Amino acid sequence: MDFTEHHFRSQDELSLYYRNYGSGKDTVICLPGLTRNSKDFHEIACHLAPRYRVICPDLRGRGQSDRDPEWKNYVPGTYVEDTWNLVDQLGIERFIIIGTSLGGLMAMIMASQRPQRVEAIVLNDIGPEVNPAGYARVLDASGEQVVVKNWQQAAQQCRESKTPMLPGMPAEFWEEYARKTYREGADGTPEFDMDQNVFRVFHEGKLKRIAGSPIDPWDAFRAVTMPCLVLRGGLSDFLSEEIVGRMVQVKPDLHHAVVPNRGHAPLLNEPEAVAAIDMFLDQLI
């Protein structure tokens, strides 16, 4: 095993899961997208582990973390508070964040709250603005998940829904991707590895609220005074070239790179993504 598994207690006493890779003096926190979990970061975490300590949590309601009995807690503000509790309980004072989609939004919020603790940020196919076409697609796709009877059907469902974002992938990739998306239920059949109530928040427009108040993502991005790299999938319908251009106008020192043949969002195991992250992190030394 390349990692150790742990749990910590949230501020409201949920048991939340995280993976720990490596033991370097500098720490990278990897924050996943809306429907994703810690398993997405396995490849990049293994790559970084010889140099960094890499922490990959499951957000509440995902993976091996507890499901929240109060669905209205599935909002960025709560996820951010959970992450602060995680790093505080681990005694980590400063850290780098790699955030995919929702995880990138969390990174910007954390930078706006306690900038002295965030050393640098990597935003994976996310910015302070979302292309309306991508938002509409995600909203349309965020209903009840298709029920599958076996792992072959799970792999096929992943292939059908994700091929536009991840074209040209072989059958074995989709088998592995299914294992990152589903888990084995009590009866042995695959079940979606996330509380379906997360979608209720998304559909009711509460995803962009924190502590009862609307988040202005551009205000959060303006607070990103630390080094920042944004990765954009070359096929992304979520983060457009125009949005990245506006981000550069706000932050002229923004690093940015394109991961070809990827939609929303790059897997972070692509050679172009790994090279961009390595170059960015090397400049922090």
Q: Nearest to residue 98, comparing CAs of 32, 53, 47, 159?
A: 32
Q: Enumerate the CATH 3.40.50.1820 domain ranges in the chain, comma separated.
A: 4-142+209-282
Distances (CA, A) of 238 to 79, 124, 144, 149, 231: 21, 11, 22, 31, 12
Confidence of residue 43 (pLDDT cuts 50, 70, 90): very high
CATH number 3.40.50.1820 given to 4-142+209-282:
yes
Q: What mean pLDDT comes out for the span 166-171? A: 96
Confidence of residue 162 (pLDDT cuts 50, 70, 90): very high
| pLDDT score at 208 | 54
| pLDDT score at 211 | 45
| pLDDT score at 53 | 98
| pLDDT score at 207 | 54
Q: How does pLDDT run across 199-246, given as a tens digit for each residue?
A: 887 766 655 554 445 678 899 999 999 999 999 999 999 999 999 999
Confidence of residue 1 (pLDDT cuts 50, 70, 90): low
Q: How does pLDDT run across 131-142, given as a tens digit for each residue?
A: 888 878 877 776
**pLDDT averaged over every residue in the chain:** 93
Q: Which two tokens stand for residue 246?
A: 């506006």
| pLDDT score at 212 | 45
Residues contacting 236, CB < 8 A, separation 6+: 125, 131, 134, 262, 263, 264, 265
